[in-house]
Amino acid sequence: MGLEITTFDPMEHLDTVDDQIELLNDALATRDHGVVGNVLGMIAAAHGMSALSRDTSIGRSSLYKAVGAEANPTLETLLKVLHGLGIDLHAERHREPEPA
């Protein structure tokens, strides 16, 4: 009996803003801008680029350039996109690991 392989589509698991926030927090924890950008792209697509464009007053083509693994949006654009997605950005103190 052969192994059945199915395609995993992360978009199927981004139904709620809480799910999206959890995924974004995981991406931010990597400190890799490509991972964060890719996740923002997935969340934006789950939200709907047309709706996000309308909510942020950023053109769709500009949104596609602003999110994704190769994107490097301005802070202004990032804040508008996050607000349009219903996500707030928070800062917290970086915790150094306890010495062994």
pTM for this entry: 0.80
Distance from C-alpha of 18 to C-alpha of 9, rounded to nearest angstrom: 18
pLDDT of residue 13: 76
- Concatenate the DSSP letters of all residues of 34-78 into one string: HHHHHHHHHHHHHH-HHHHHHHHT--HHHHHHHSSTT----HHHH
- pLDDT in single tens digits along all 100 residues of the chain: 688 888 877 777 788 999 999 999 999 999 999 999 999 999 999 999 999 999 999 999 999 999 988 999 999 999 999 999 999 998 888 777 777 6
Distance from C-alpha of 89 to C-alpha of 87, rounded to nearest angstrom: 7
